[in-house]
Structure 1
Amino acid sequence: MFYIYAISSLNRNYIYVGLTDNIERRFMEHNSGKNKTTKPYLPFQVIYTEEFETRVEARIREKYYKSGIGKEKLKQIREQRG
């Protein structure tokens, strides 16, 4: 299985969208500073996940959530979660 996920910085206005086959491992990598892109925005919380059978399906959805309209939806989700 493949997953797309969105994480939100707890201290800054930043949402990161990614694709993985292991959400727990990937989230730990982000929060431990192993990812150069997200390191300046530590710490994070997971705000959204979605599961797919193939990497191709997951990649299509990841691209959507990285787009303008997709990011707006994620911002709404983040606001609803508080």
Structure 2
Amino acid sequence: MYFVYILYCPETGLSYVGHTSHLILRYYEHRDGMSRWTRRMRSPFLVYWEHFESRSEAMRREKYFKHGCGFRVRGEIIQRFTVEWM
């Protein structure tokens, strides 16, 4: 099983989209600064995730969130998170 996830850091306003087969482990790697792409995020929140049966499906969904209208959808997800939780 593979996951697509969105991280968001309210302190910096940065967000990140990725995919993994071990969601919790990958979250801790991001949180502990072990990923160079999210090192600037001081304390990221896991705001969204989806699961998929294959890696190719997860990669396709990750690409969707990074481009075009999926980028807007990602912004809406983050906005919903900040309204409900912040």
TM-score bin, normalised by smaller chain: 0.7 to 0.9
- Which runs of 5 or more residues in structure 1 are unaligned? none
Alignment of 1:2-21 (within 5 A): 2-21=2-21
Among residues 66, 74, 79, which one is paired with 2:77 in the alignment? Answer: 74
What is the TM-score of this pair, normalised by structure 2? 0.84
Closer, same or farther: CA 77–61 of 1 in aligned 2, 3 Å: farther
| C-alpha displacement of 1:70 | 3.4
- Runs of 4+ aligned residues of structure 1 deviating over 4 Å after TM superposition are none
What is the TM-score of this pair, normalised by structure 1? 0.88
- Number of matched residues? 82
Q: 2:54: which partner in 1? A: 54
AA aligned opposite 1:73: E
| Identity, % of aligned positions | 29
Deviations 1:14-57 (A, max 9, x none): 11000000001000000000011111112111000000000011
CA distance in 2, matches of 1:47, 1:69: 15
AA aligned opposite 1:23: L
CA RMSD in angstroms, aligned pairs only: 1.4
- Which runs of 5 or more residues in structure 2 are unaligned? none
Larger CA deviation: 59-68 vs 47-56: 59-68
